[in-house]
Chains A and B, each alone.
Chain A
Amino acid sequence: MSRRMKELIIIDEKTFPRVINRIAHEIMEKNPNLEDLVLIGIKKGGSLLKERIKEAIKKQESVDVITGDIDITMYRDDIFKIGFQPKVETTEIPCSLDNKNVVLIDDVLYTGRTVRAAIDALFDFGRPKRIQLAVFIDRGHRELPIQADFVGKFLPTSKKELVVVLFKEEDGKDCVVLREKDG
């Protein structure tokens, strides 16, 4: 049981769904033709977010947008350098991505490497017309020239901190917290 230092709530339970709604509306605004739209969650954090955004769109427009999930383990640029071995999860893309407007969804945008790997993976499923990026939190410290089109909140952080997006289904409640890294 590690000793957690400070845990700061950045987005609480009340604010959480409002941010989701705003992102969903922005996506709909920039992508008026919902038939061409494909929401792809980057496993695992982005998948749950994707489900919430899909629900929000459905509530608003009564349309079931096509969604999928992508596991980027096979595309990581650091697979031989990290000390651990990531678990390969399954990628599920229900259709060809040719000519589609893809919105990649992830919970936290940090160095940008995960998104780079996801884009590489997407290209193995077709040639999208356009790829946009939606993230719940952009915490800065980019190492690649990547930026999000839709952002829930910009949060300046230090490298010693950890940003965690928690979901009701898995963690008991919806919120975003900032923690100090142990050790």
Chain B
Amino acid sequence: MAEKIKWVHKDFISLDNLSKEEILYVLDVASSFEEVLKRDVKKVPTLRGKSVLTLFYEPSTRTRTSFEMAAKILSADTINVSVSTSSVSKGETLLDTVKNIEAMSVDVVIIRHNCSGVPEFLAKKTKASIVNAGDGRHEHPTQALLDMLTIKSFKNTLQGLKIAIVGDILHSRVARSNLIGLKKLGNEVRFVGPATFIPKYFKELGAEVYYNLEEGIYNADVVMVLRLQKERMGAGFYPSEREYARFFSINKKTMNYAKKDAIFMHPGPVNRGLEITSDVLNDKRCVVLNQVTKGVAVRMAVLYLLLTGGKGEN
């Protein structure tokens, strides 16, 4: 069990401003909440009377549903707003949105936006607690925590592991959050992919960089495969899907470069046959589908800590 710590953050925006102890604590609290999800009656009255707004500027059924479930299980009230591009083009600015949030008097705003820095912007301007559900290319902290919880459940430790993240690192906020979190806990994190996807500055941020798949995932305990976004081909990041699949795909053969008991993860959705093949997805070492419950538990922990914490007071 992790050391109990005093939660002092008003918002949950990035793993960068959490200490190692705080990260372990959140994971610990999440484990306790996992038990609730195993009950017949999946509901506790903890956050009754509190309201949670999910504000998604980018579509996402998976993450939004996960947050919604987390809030509802804790008996909080939820409001969902999908901001369409039309209201943005009608001239509604982020500041207008802030004013609407204040008017609704919600306690927590869960925001997903395509511009980096938006959660931090909102956090400075409103008293509500802001939870980052993914901002641009910056971070997706709850996803990384969920990945860590998954790794812990299969490897029984979150220290001293070799974790390889394969694919389009440059555009992945999940990769960044995982790098920050896993390094803080004392693991080796490798970024593997074509050089166009991995800026050299990541070395300064603690990642080991590999442009060769075999070397990159050699002896890895965990392999995380990122989804390849097809529009990146047109922009010159890689010449063709055929070439990418040939040199970087995780398939039955390349799987074996990693340790015998390595686990394979993918944040979804998957391009079958491209970055990962069906036989890998069906292999028992692939843990893609086990992550849903843990996702809800992590998000319950985050909501619990933000709403019941000291918020910087005594």
Chain A residues with a Cβ under 8 A of chain B: 71, 73-76, 79-80, 83-92, 96, 120-121, 124-126
Contact = CB atoms under 8 A, between A and B. Distances in A.
* Chain A at the B interface: SS class: loop
Given A74-B46, A75-B46, A85-B309, A124 B41 contact: yes
A88 B29 contact: yes
B40 A88 contact: no
Interface stretch (B31-39, B163-171, B196-204): B31-39
B305 interface: yes
Q: Which of A74, A86, A96 has the most CB of B within 10 A?
A: A74
B46 A85 contact: no
B33 A85 contact: no
Contact of A74 (B4, B45, B309, B313): B45
A2 B132 CA distance: 42
Q: How large is the interface on B (under 10, 10 to 19, 20 to 34, 35 or more residues)?
A: 20 to 34
B208 to A, nearest CB: 36
A71 B33 CA distance: 11
Contact of B310 (A84, A92, A96, A121): A84
A75 B29 contact: no
A87 B305 CA distance: 10
Contacts of B313: 83
A74 B33 CA distance: 10
B2 to A, nearest CB: 9
Contact of B32 (A80, A88, A96, A126): A88
Nearest to A82: B308
Contact of B39 (A75, A89, A125): A125
Contacts of B7: 85
Given A75-B46, A91-B35, A84 B6 contact: yes
Q: Which of A71, A80, A83, A125 has the most CB of B within 10 A?
A: A80
A164 B305 CA distance: 28
Interface in B1-37: 4, 6-7, 29, 31-33, 35-36
Given A74-B44, A74-B45, A90-B32, A85 B308 contact: yes
Contact of B45 (A75, A84, A85, A92): A75
B264 interface: no
A40 B313 CA distance: 35
Given A74-B46, A75-B45, A75-B46, A88 B304 contact: yes
B310 A75 contact: no
A83 B310 CA distance: 7
Interface of B: 4, 6-7, 29, 31-33, 35-36, 39-41, 43-46, 74, 301, 304-305, 307-310, 313-314
Contacts of A91: 32, 35-36
Contacts of B304: 88
B44 A75 contact: yes
A71 B31 CA distance: 13
Contacts of A87: 4, 29
Contact of B35 (A75, A86, A90, A126): A90
Nearest to B34: A90
16 contacts: A73-B46, A75-B44, A76-B46, A80-B307, A80-B308, A84-B6, A85-B6, A87-B29, A88-B32, A88-B301, A88-B304, A91-B32, A92-B35, A124-B39, A124-B44, A125-B41
Contacts of B310: 83-85
Contacts of A126: 40
A83 B31 contact: no
B36 A74 contact: yes
B314 A83 contact: yes
B32 A71 contact: yes
Contacts of A124: 39-41, 43-44
A27 to B, nearest CB: 26
Q: Which of B7, B31, B41, B46 has the most CB of A within 10 A?
A: B46
A86 B40 CA distance: 25
A96 B40 contact: yes
Contacts of B307: 80
A84 B309 CA distance: 7
